[in-house]
């Protein structure tokens, strides 16, 4: 997935905002975007997987 951003700080800010908004652990969304387990995901697939995230109860 490609996107335009001014610098790394802006990108990090957006990714952290997405993690918080989607109630995911820090770095979860960036892992889905930049290091997917299988094939590259579309934006819709990233959001779907992030929304499906459920923490493991310990």
Q: Residue 3: which pLDDT band, with cuts at 50, 70 and 90?
A: low
CA–CA gap between residue 53 and residue 39 (Å, rounded): 19
The pTM of the full predicted model, rounded to 2 decimals, is 0.75
What confidence tens digit (pLDDT) does each residue in 21-45 have? 988 899 999 999 999 888 999 989 9
Residue 17, pLDDT score: 93
What confidence tens digit (pLDDT) does each residue in 46-56 have? 999 999 998 88
- CA dihedral for 43, 37, 50, 33, sign (positive or negative): negative
Domain boundaries, the chain: 8-52
């Amino acid at each position: 997935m490609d996107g335009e951003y001014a610098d790394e700080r802006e990108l990090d800010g957006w990714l952290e905002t997405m993690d918080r908004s989607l109630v995911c652990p820090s770095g979860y969304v960036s892992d889905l975007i930049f290091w997917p387990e299988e094939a590259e995901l579309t934006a819709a697939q990233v959001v779907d997987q992030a929304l499906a995230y459920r923490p493991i109860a310990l």
